[in-house]
Amino acid sequence: MPATTQSPTNHIKRCKPLLGTYVEVSVLSENNNNDTLIDISECVFSEIQRVENLMSFHDPDSELSYINREASNHSCSISKDMEEVLLAALNLSKVTNGIYDISIAPTLVRNGILPDQSIDVDDQANWQDILIADGKISFKRKLLIDLGGIAKGYAVDRALCRVENQVKNITVNAGGDLRMKEWSGESVGIKASDTNGFNSLIFVPMHQAALATSSNYYIDVGKSAIIDPFTKKELKDKKSISVFASNCMLADALTKVAFLDITLIPIFKPLGVKAISIDESGNVQDLCETLDHG
């Protein structure tokens, strides 16, 4: 009987505090030893760190902070990464008629969710006052941009794409915003929380390569990071919304859109997007299905 040869499979899982949360990297390979996998995961973490250094609202030295300080005074050159994220964000604003709006930052500052950097803003300003052309950005009115609802997903995408060709499978999970190389057949546990703080995990199959979840259950009582751009009111809903998409940046951003207006989600169905909500009783609702039949 001929001997069968089977390649040994190596697997590592690491975690570091990045992007203001816990970033977990899981790498599986048949060709690399564990030391090489450590090096590969190091590339993932350094790519995430690089994106964080560009897009952090909290860091006064980030490219984003520079833009927030200067773009209402003069047009500023921006990096390719920043241009890609801002154009994607503005495109989403356009498609959702302003429901998705990265200029909501001043309300988050007022509510104590984001730090106050003492920058004057015009309360009437919105996403339409952000102009991007030829690699430069300028603000028509004084405003503040926060990329908290999209940059984490972008960082996950960039990090995964940088190394995915070197491994059999990889998952990058930045505090619940995750992307897998081989996602078919995988399942994921989604956290659910009721009014009494009873937490549970609800298992669902992966529908796409990326998944992001938004919920308020980790935020202090009475606060929310999700703001209605028209009323400036915080959404204190206790449900959670999870969005599956082909990339994590889109999944991340669409969780906020779904929170504010779920009727907009079918627009993204041709892109393979699927959204589910989990209520305080742990009931899972397929948002696309409900809308199809409703």
Partner 1 sequence: MMSGINNIKNFFIKVVALIGLSLLPVGHLYAEVYMSTEKAKEVLWQTTAMSPVALVLTNDQMDAIEEASGTWVRNGNLKAWKTKTGGWFIIDQVVGKHEMIDLAVALTNEGKVKGIEVLQYREAYGHQVRHPKWLAQFFGKDHTERLQIGAQIHNISGGTLSSRHITEGINRLVHTWNLVLRHL
- Applying CB under 8 A, which residues contact partner 1? 13-18, 20-22, 24, 26, 38, 152, 171, 173, 175-178, 180, 186-191, 196-205, 211-219, 240, 242, 282, 284, 286, 289
Minimum distance of partner 1 from residue 79's CB (angstroms): 24
Q: Which is nearer to partner 1, 134 or 220 (CB)?
A: 220
Distance CA 178, CA 160 (A): 10
Instruction: Assess contact for 228 and 260: CB atoms under 8 A.
Output: yes
- 198 forms beta bridges with none
Q: Which is nearer to partner 1, 18 or 137 (CB)?
A: 18
Q: Which is nearer to partner 1, 14 or 69 (CB)?
A: 14
Is residue 79 within a helix (H) or strand (E), and if so which, with residue range?
none
Residue type, 223: K
Q: Which is nearer to partner 1, 71 or 174 (CB)?
A: 174
Q: Which is nearer to partner 1, 176 or 229 (CB)?
A: 176
Residue 56: which of 160, 173, 150, 178 has the closest Cα?
150
Q: What is the Rg, in whole angstroms, of the alpha carbon atoms belonging to the chain?
A: 20
Minimum distance of partner 1 from residue 6's CB (angstroms): 22
Residue corresponding to tokens 């833009």:
67
- Torsion, Cα of 228, 230, 233, 239 (10° steps): -30
Minimum distance of partner 1 from residue 152's CB (angstroms): 7
Minimum distance of partner 1 from residue 77's CB (angstroms): 31
Distance CA 79, CA 178 (A): 24
Q: Which is nearer to partner 1, 73 or 199 (CB)?
A: 199
Minimum distance of partner 1 from residue 225's CB (angstroms): 8
Residue 151: which of 229, 83, 252, 50 has the closest Cα?
252
Minimum distance of partner 1 from residue 191's CB (angstroms): 3
